[in-house]
Amino acid sequence: MILTLTMNPSVDRTATLSAPLAVGGVNRIAEVDDSPGGKGVNVARVLAAGGVEARAVFPAPAQDPFVAMCAGAGVLTTVVPADGPVRINLTLADPDGTTTKINAPGPEAGEATLLRVRTTVADLARGAAWVVLCGSLPRGVPDDFYADLVTELRSSGARLAVDTSDAPLAALAARLPGAAPDLVKPNGEELGQLAGVDGVELERRAASGDLAPVVETARSLRGQGVGTVLVTLGGAGAVLIDDDEAWFASTPAIRVRSTVGAGDSALAGYLLAEARGARPEERLAWAVSHGSVAASLPGTGIPLGLDPATFRTTLLRLD
């Protein structure tokens, strides 16, 4: 089983516009889609559709409509009782695939909720192959919450993955190597946050075809105890650093409709391939194909039951 934790779940509401967003003007909506979201929930949905047992843990009121949305999407859940409704995140999607995200902060999490989350995850982790800690932290949660969990869960026997950004990611970086997870999945900017370098410059160099700074930065994290580094670079592809290997995979030619959930799908694709015993480069190919298909779908597009062999990606060993 793969266990995911989403501390700040959301209803992902995507409003597809009939024309490019006019800031300060009148905009017309062609369609609206609501999906259960939050990074860990998205990962669990893709894993379940791919035939891998997954369970999503998140704090929410027991009767919140979000819980029913997850059940309707086929997600196995463990709901940690919490106060305050699950937030609604709004994405405005232009016809050309440009997305504007407006994310709500979510309800404040109290000490009792945090204790229940820790206890629940620790209990479930003992029977899990992976524990995946995903997304932003709501108000009231200390920035080093994920770093603490990685340290606490190390004795569970489960492997630990982290996909977050900003202050929680910086707090994790500050606790390396003691809080080093087995897998991190940053984008270029987040890779910079982890390593203390300019992530925007890393993305710019990668977009121009220069992957050396990304590889060097990812390897520096390996030197600080991180197991595997999977770096997603949008249209520039993705890089995987695993043991002594470095691999690059190109992005298939797609029409981008919404990038919401694409990184989560990439992480799920990697874990699906890993569960099948795939080689590192095959895991990377699965990650890129899943992320690319998600970006080609409207709303929080989730590639359900995807066969990665139907999508072409170029694999290149970088060392």
Provide the 8-state DSSP code for 182.
S
Which helix (H) or strand (E) segment holds residue 57: the answer is: strand 54-60
Task: Give the integer Cα–Cα distance in Å for 274 and 268.
Answer: 10
Distances (CA, A) of 259 to 194, 271, 292: 22, 20, 9
Cβ 158 vs Cβ 130: under 8 Å: yes
Which helix (H) or strand (E) segment holds residue 163: the answer is: strand 159-163
Q: Known catalytic residue: 264?
A: yes
Cβ 57 vs Cβ 124: under 8 Å: yes
Catalytic residue (one of 12, 264, 307, 319): 264
| Residue 187: φ, ψ to 5° | -85, -175
- DSSP notation for 189-202: HHHHHHHTS-HHHH
Task: Give the integer Cα–Cα distance in Å for 96 and 192.
Answer: 28
Closest Cα partner for 235 from 257, 223, 253, 260?
253
Task: Give the integer Cα–Cα distance in Å for 270 and 244.
Answer: 18
| First CA to last CA distance, the chain | 33
Mode of pairing for the β-strands spanning 159-163 and 130-134? parallel
On the CB side of 213, CA atoms within 13 Å amount to: 21
Query: Catalytic residue positions?
Result: 264
